[in-house]
Structure 1
Amino acid sequence: MRMAVLIASVLVAGCSSTTGGQPDRIEPIPPAPSASAPSGTTTSSGGPTPTAAPAPGAPIDGVLAWIEAGAPADVAAYREATREGQVTELGQDVAFTTPSGKTTCMTAQRADGALACLVDLLDPPPRPADAYGEWKGGWVDYDGSSVTVGSVHGDPGRFTAGEGPELPYGQLLSFGDFRCRSDAAGLFCADSANRSAVKFSDAGIEPFGCLQPVSAPPQIGERFQC
């Protein structure tokens, strides 16, 4: 019996490694820190959303992200236009005006919902030699895949109804495939389906994305096409 106790004591002592008479402690391995995603809004390409209005030639991802970052406006408030105190309900169309009053825009379902804007351009395109009728150098049509600047109109067309409510700076108006954000630098509108965008201001019309200058058709001042 004494022999069995002695053998057990030897085995226990052999299994316990000591340092300075104390058993070694096994320190736990700390877990690897988890990677955290950076905060803030990013563009579809992974970059941060620009805080300033897009400059000429800005990448379309940044332009779209900046427009989308505007404060959403209630589209129902822009379904009417006013002319000389008379209000016209526009149904599914929208109308709005920039705070500066230099750009007023309206859609027309009879034109597939395309956006037309009257812009008080400082330097509108000159009247083409083949144009006949009343020339409106600041009439801009934007359907998402093309932009025309300057055209002939014998009457106010869709603007017979007047002007829409003011779209305050920093606010975003969404309708169909279009997104429009008002800014002190100008009105920026984009078409999500075509990934194109346009800046409207009295300084000129600035295209973004796939829109490139092309030869203007008869009775048109300038044209940009995807």
Structure 2
Amino acid sequence: MSRIVIVAATGGVGRHLLRLSVEAGHEVTALVRTPQRLAGEPVRVVRADLNAPDAAVLRDALDGADLVLSGLGARSGSEAGVASRGTAALVEAMHATGVRRIVAVSAASVGTIASPLRPDPPKHNPGDGIVMRHVFAPISKALFRPHYADLAIMEDVLQASGLEWTVSRPPRLLDHRLRRSYRTAVDINVRGGMFIAREDVARHMLAMASDPATIHHRVGVAY
């Protein structure tokens, strides 16, 4: 059993992280903006707004934890920045409390987005096929560029943190599982992978948390 802090535990990926962690018998602390949404859940619930992080609240929530699972991300263009700001605050709290391990969700398209630590990213992710490179990726980046820029900076924050970080990079997220299994690729996107269920992203993140081979890597996951 591990003591897990789940960030954005009522979000699209976070709610699955919460359920799967509880089902696996872990001791869970959920960081959420609206604690009422977790009424009755067998977890410790801490109110935290990562748009305006409170350092003391985060330190208290992380104290004694073994790892952090983060589903943090902007729900709209106006919220872009929450992933990078919130993750920077989490990193500071982890250093203060001695927590070393964090697995955070990003996005497949982030690999081609420039950031301070990656000012010259590749034009195409080497794992992408022709359709993804020339159709889906350009459309996705046009629609969600503020979100991806935020996630790219979030990845920079983790890379520079000195912590045992892993980033999950899924493509388009679905609410329902399409297959019984998924594919993964280390530091590139999954070849031909265009979809993945949020539940499977969460399942994979939880598996990676105990896999030291994934530390300091960005791992693609898709069907």
TM-score by length of 2: 0.26
Larger of the two Rg values belongs to structure? 1
TM-score by length of 1: 0.26
Higher helix share: 2
